[in-house]
């Protein structure tokens, strides 16, 4: 039987075969700062068509449980996988234009390790951690969705939604 010695993973040695990224301790470009840091397009996978899927990490720290911003993507759904803590996500049904249906917003607790896929057009935004520990959340979107298919609405103080657990 032939034997092969296991190697340590490094960018240089793995490059001929593909790519990798440390999703829990990212060393990458990011958007935002604590309590929400979005490490964008950390690893990408060609699915054999036009789209290239990107894997990003959204790290959320403890913050007030208030929905004060929401967004949607017109042309794509979004995958969301909490890696190391439970999270809370808000969602609202698709609506015309940039007017979120505030009276229809719902909040769900997503257990660590549970993949959630949000349909195109559904209102959502960065998750909330459920306790004092940060949560690293794997986000799966087509490459650069945050730049070319992201309608973001900041809610007026009177329209913000508090979350109770």
Give the residue, 51 or 123, on which the prediction is more confident.
123
Residue linked to tokens 């698709």: 94
Averaged confidence pLDDT in the chain: 88
Q: What is the pLDDT of residue 46?
A: 67
Please check the confidence at residue 51 and state whether its pLDDT lies above 70: yes
Cβ proximity of 139 and 79 under 8 Å: yes
Mean pLDDT within 7-22: 73
Mean pLDDT within 137-142: 93
Please check the confidence at residue 78 and state whether its pLDDT lies above 80: yes
Please check the confidence at residue 165 and state whether its pLDDT lies above 80: yes
Confidence of residue 159 (pLDDT cuts 50, 70, 90): very high
Percent helix / strand / coil, the chain, rounded to 5: 10, 40, 50
pTM: 0.82
C-alpha distances (whole Å) from 164 to each of 67, 98, 104, 148 are 11, 26, 16, 33
């Amino acid at each position: 039987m032939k034997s092969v010695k296991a190697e340590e993973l490094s960018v240089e040695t793995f490059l001929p075969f593909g790519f990798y990224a440390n999703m829990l301790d990212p060393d990458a470009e990011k958007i935002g700062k604590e309590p929400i840091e979005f490490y964008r397009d950390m690893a990408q996978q060609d699915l054999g068509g036009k789209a290239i899927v990107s894997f990003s990490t959204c790290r959320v720290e403890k913050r007030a449980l208030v929905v004060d911003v929401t967004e949607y993507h017109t042309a794509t759904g979004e995958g969301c996988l909490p890696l190391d803590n439970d999270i809370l996500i808000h969602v609202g049904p698709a609506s015309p234009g940039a007017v979120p249906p505030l009276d229809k917003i719902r909040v769900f607790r997503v257990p660590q390790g549970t993949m959630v896929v949000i349909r195109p057009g559904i209102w959502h935004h960065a998750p909330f951690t459920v306790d004092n520990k940060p949560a690293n959340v794997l986000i799966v979107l087509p490459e650069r969705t945050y730049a070319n298919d992201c309608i973001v609405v900041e809610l007026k103080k009177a329209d913000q939604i508090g979350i109770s657990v």
